[in-house]
Amino acid sequence: MPRVSVIIPSYKTAHLIATCLDSVFAQTFTDFEAMVVNDGSPDTPELEKVLQPYMDRIVYIKQENKRAAGARNNAIRQAKGEFLAFLDSDDSWTPVHLANQMELFEKDPSLDFVYSNSLLTGIPGREEEFMTRCPSNGDATFEALITERCQVAISTVVARKTSIVKAGGFDETLLRCDDYDMWVRTCFHGAKIGYRREVQAYMAIGRPGSLSQHRSRMVEAYWEILERFKKTLPLSQAQREVVEKRAAEIRVRYLVAEGRSQLSDGKFEKAKELFAEACKLQMAPRLKLVLVGLKVAPNATGKLISLWDRLQSGARA
């Protein structure tokens, strides 16, 4: 029986999955099975042609489209390994990734779940370490995940299968952020989490058609998950206070992100409504200035915000 089951969902990634699989089979740790889940992909003929040279080394699962959460759950049910390693089919690993992650479990057998740093790729001239953009500081507790003091990249995660099953697996009803939801529930149900700061994966960002492209939709999904935690998890009073505070903060972040999106589309009245609601929740001086600008000179305000966003984007490059 393999020690680790590597789970790779594939949807419209026939042109990318060979690089992904090559990185898996280049691992210095070799006690694993590689599971590729064809999630009802429209490029199935191309995908299966690319997979043909790997067929004797992978477990190939073909299913109707259930999105990434459904693909991962299907693979989890069939996985033979004690540990699960998650890898998106447009991402790849460094050769020592699995060895380094399994070393963490060897050093601390109480760990249930580990992740690492990665390099974000896909935008020319904009390569950046994940933990530079999304830091991890201190212990990765339930509160740390809620407040994003610790943030997890799915293609670096290795977890005990029992901890994922205990938490109920991935929520297939979520359109976005199902991985974040999974990590928080896993932690809430008692999983101990560790991490490494070394870059051990290469993660593509901004790929056309990826769910992470629309910022306001991602922030909205994050807020909805926090609201769901308040209703579905038996939180302690301290935990509830942390979740409620964070949900209010993320609601403002969503309203601002969606307001900017509406501005870029020239929908000034809708943008004004969104910024007004954000001001009610958080009376930040900058938000008040934007709201006043939208009332007095909406077109000019929209142009100024677009210019600010471009300058900020350039500063991060």
Instruction: Give the pLDDT confidence of 130-141 residue by residue, as tens digits.
Output: 999 999 999 999
What is the structure's pLDDT at 124? 66
**Residue 193: left (phi > 0), alpha (psi -120 to 50), or beta?**
beta
Greatest pairwise CA separation for the chain in angstroms = 68
Round the average pLDDT of the chain to a whole number and report it.
86
Residue 307: pLDDT band (50, 70, 90) is: very low
Q: Answer for the pair 226, 130: CB distance below 8 angstroms, yes or no.
A: no
Query: Mapping DSSP to helix (H, G, I), strand (E, B) and coil, where does residue 115 land?
Result: strand
End-to-end C-alpha distance for the chain, whole angstroms: 45
Domains and CATH numbers, the chain: 4-204 (3.90.550.10), 215-316 (no CATH)
CA-based nearest residue to 130, from 202, 66, 61: 202
Q: What is the pTM of this model?
A: 0.83
Given pLDDT bands bounded at 50, 70 and 90, which one contains residue 278?
Answer: low
Reported as a single tens digit per residue, the pLDDT across 210-228 is 444 466 678 889 999 999 9
